[in-house]
Amino acid sequence: MYNYNQLIFPSYMEKDTRFFVIAGFSLNGPVDTPFSIRDGVDPIEVLGDCRMAENYLMAKEYGITPLLLRLNGSHGECEINHEELNTPALRFKTAEATDESNNIHIHLFPSYMIIEGVYNSFSYFYSDYKTLDELVSAIKNELYFGKGEVDVEIVNPVPIQGLCLNELYVAMDGADDGFNYVSQFDDSDSEEKVALQLEILKNNILDEVADYAQFTGELSGFQIDTLLFTDIPFEKSPIELPRILGQFAAAKTDEQIGFCSIVLSSDFFLLITGLMKRAMTHI
């Protein structure tokens, strides 16, 4: 598991900065949320052993701290009702987007709740908080600065009293690592898999209206100097891939009134870099 405080999110960055963006598929990390990784943190610990992590490491070797956009997977969610008022009160979301995040439970009692995580558990006694806002702040603080595994938001501003009248288990649902989208380091990816990758890439960055491709997605508002798509190397790319990325670059250039370029990854470059790293370890 990675910790939330190992990451840097755009709200802590200068949005006027021109970013080098790595977009693609990974085994972990926030989904559909641009982020970067703090210095000293192993990207494989955050992203898993995948092409995105390899490209991130190469960028760092050249003094570049990229912005990352993970396109696959989903975070688990659950909603808790205020039992006395029968009204939705809190919505929880897993910090990680992995299959095992579905094993996180919110265990409610009339006087306290336990967030039973995959790695850690935390108890919150309602008497310690005057309002639901204070309870939410405590849970968020554990996520931001500790080892919390969930985020939470208020659905309706109900009182904390009466939140739970009888013991209740609420499980997370929908967490998925999206492993089927992640490219292998060999030639085993099928045409069907590549088609799925292209579809999710297109849906995340373009909104086609008639014959015009309009930029959309979570990167809106960021100044992007270069976008690297990690998972389909140009040696194997179908003609659809450069068309999608070309439309993105054109639409993004119009949006930011500054040139945006695209880069395709290369198996040859990854191979040479890997061989060089292995050779250096034996010198």
Rg (CA), the chain: 21
Q: Which residue has the higher pLDDT, 72 or 280?
A: 72
φ and ψ at residue 149, rounded to 5 degrees: -115, 5
For strand 261-264 and strand 223-229, is the pairing parallel, antiparallel, or unpaired? parallel
User: Dihedral sign, CA of 21, 34, 5, 178?
Assistant: negative
Rounded to whole angstroms, how far apart are CA atoms 195 and 192? Answer: 5
Q: Indicate the pTM of the whole model.
A: 0.83
pLDDT tens by residue, 183-226:
876 666 777 888 888 888 887 776 655 454 555 567 777 888 88
Question: Can you point out the beta strands (E) in 25-76?
Answer: 36-37, 67-70
pLDDT for the residue 131 = 95
User: Dihedral sign, CA of 240, 246, 247, 252?
Assistant: positive
Query: 214: which strand partners?
Result: 207
SS3 57: helix
Of the chain, the percentage scoring pLDDT greater than 90 comes to 50
